[in-house]
Copies of this chain bind each other. A is one copy, B any other.
Amino acid sequence: MIILNGGSSSGKTGIVRCLQAVLPDPWLAFGVDDFVDALPARMQGSEGGIEFAEDGGVSVGADFRELEAAWAEGIATMARAGARIVVDDVFLGGVASQERWRKVLDGVDVLWVGVRCDSDVAAGREIARGDRTPGMAAQQADLVHLGVAYDLEVDTSRTESLDCARVIAAHVR
Contact = CB atoms under 8 A, between A and B. Distances in A.
A121 B158 CA distance: 12
Q: How many copies does the complex hold?
A: 4
B38 A26 contact: no
A40 interface: yes
Interface string A56-74: 0000000100110111011
A17 B127 contact: yes
Nearest to A163: B124
Nearest to A14: B128
Interface of A: 11, 13-15, 17-18, 20-21, 26-30, 34, 38-43, 48-49, 63, 66-67, 69-71, 73-79, 81-83, 121, 124-125, 127-130, 158, 160-163
